[in-house]
Amino acid sequence: MTGETSQVRDNRTPFAILFGVSVATAMGNTGMLSVLPAIGRQIGIPDAMVAAIFSLSAVLWAITSPLWARQSDLRGRKPLIMLGLSGFCVSMLLCALVVSAGLRHLAPPMVIFVLFLLCRALFGGVGSAANPATQAYMADRTSREERTQTMATLAGAFGLGTVVGPLLAPLFVLPVVGLAGPMFAFAAIAAIMLVVVKRGLPETFMPGRGDTPPRRKLGLPWRGESAALWRDPRLKPFLVYGFLVASCQTAQTQTLGFLIIDKLGLPPVKAQGFITLAMAAGAVAGLLAQWGLIRMFRMGPRELMRWGVAAAALGNVVVAFAPDYAAVAIGYAIASLGYGFARPGFTAGASLSLPAKDQAGAAGAIAAINGLNVVVAPLFVLLYEKIGWGPFVLNALILVAMLAYALRQAVLRSVSQTAPEREAAIAGLERSDEGGV
């Protein structure tokens, strides 16, 4: 008993540090996302191209995450965590410098767009190293009984960051740096966390000294063992469902800022506070679903997938035909509540559909989906430029189709309904949003 108590105490500091790393990363990503519409309008970058800034990063995230996971087995967890955090810090700093140049009209808008795209891509290619290394680190230091709850706590850090990021961003929109201020601030926070990790995070193992974990064969999503899982009839329906739901959420989030600017008729900088409040309301609604309602009502994957897309569809309809800003914010919160159900639902369902030996591969496929869905967001923004209510109605139609899809017994036939498995799934539901590109 004394040994177990000592182990728990030994884990507190490392887990607190990793919790801080996750919060800092999520704050930076969502904080930047909240100011992007105003940045694009100020510089003169077309709305659809603003949304496309995340696309290359998303593709690189999906490609490199399995590769960095392999490197964490070979080189250790801490070096990869530091590499990923460094990539995030440098990417955010470079994005801030590019935005500053654009706001001062030092280069044409299209040049600024290309530079912004490349600087953000650094996060997808290098910043992705931290995510799998962090999960592996926590797995190294926890027992099987502790692991699910520990991972859920880490996922909660991402959820907390999505609330705090948009709320903090306007505070850093200062006279000298303008809309680039939040990115400078989040880069500084990441640099501080990098120092904390270097000085305070102990390594879990030393490669080459006999305690290296078994080397896993991690292929790209479309190659090797991972490809077989993508074609697995037990998993494929959940992946299709998850990709479409995640695409709808990303499209709505990236279109929201433009809609609010146009709805209020204010200059982008003045509208930023309203964008922040709406995004924060959505983040709180998502946390309410994941941290409260799911556990309160003990909802399983079947209920989450059904209720999630139903609420998200309703929220999109409200946003599409909202007469004013208040209705837009309410509709977005309703939709976010639905996504807070649907995405964990498909993640838990996918996990329960496969045996233990395939869990790592399933997690890799889900991580790829959570990155690749960002690629379609510019198409929805382009539709918004043509028909203001178009992307939200299209979202609603897709989500209603997903509701019909979720109602089919065949989709969830492989999901276990036993109480212990359901409790384990609920405890780890939030893992679906850990990437954040």
Comparing 6-20, 91-105, 245-259, the range with the smallest average pLDDT is 6-20
DSSP line for 381-406: HHHHHH-TTHHHHHHHHHHHHHHHHH
Distance CA 323, CA 388 (A): 12
Distance CA 206, CA 122 (A): 28
User: Does residue 108 come out as left (phi exceeding 0), alpha (psi in the -120 to 50 range) or beta?
Assistant: beta
Q: Position of tokens 């006279």?
A: 175
237: which 2 tokens?
Answer: 């329906």
Angle at which helix 236-264 crosses helix 301-320, to 10 degrees, equals: 30
User: What is the rounded distance in angstroms from the CA atom of residue 320 to the CA atom of residue 390?
Assistant: 7
| Residue-level pLDDT at 55 | 86
What average pLDDT does range 411-434 have in this prediction? 47
Is the model more confident about 294 or about 149?
A: 294
With residue 271 as reference, give the H or E element that holds it.
helix 268-287
CA distance 246 to 235: 16
d(CA 6, CA 11): 9
Residue 388 in tokens: 């203001």
**Residues 320-372: tens digit of each pLDDT:** 999 999 999 999 999 999 998 888 777 777 767 767 556 555 665 676 677 77
- 77-98 average pLDDT score: 94
| pLDDT, the chain, mean | 80
Convert the pLDDT of each residue in 16-73 to its tens digit: 898 899 899 989 998 998 899 999 999 999 988 998 898 889 888 878 877 787 777 7
Rounded mean pLDDT of 277-282?
Answer: 90
Residues 6+ apart with CB under 8 A from 197: 17, 21, 78, 81, 82, 85
The pLDDT of residue 249 is above 70: yes
What sign has the CA pseudo-torsion 315, 317, 323, 325?
Answer: positive
Q: Is the pLDDT of residue 145 over 80?
A: no
Give the 3-state secondary structure of 302-336.
Answer: HHHHHHHHHHHHHHHHHHHCCCCHHHHHHHHHHHH
Banded pLDDT at 426 (limits 50, 70, 90): very low
**DSSP character string of 69-123:** HHHHHHH-HHHHHHHHHHHHHHHHHHHHHHHHHHHTTSS-HHHHHHHHHHHHHHH
The residue with greater pLDDT, 277 or 4, is 277
- 367 versus 240: the higher-pLDDT residue is 240
Q: Which of 169-178, 197-206, 279-288, 306-315 has the highest mean pLDDT?
A: 306-315
Alpha helices by DSSP H, listed for 126-235, are 130-140, 144-168, 181-200, 224-231
Question: Does residue 418 register a pLDDT over 70?
Answer: no
Rounded (10°) CA dihedral 303, 306, 307, 312: 150
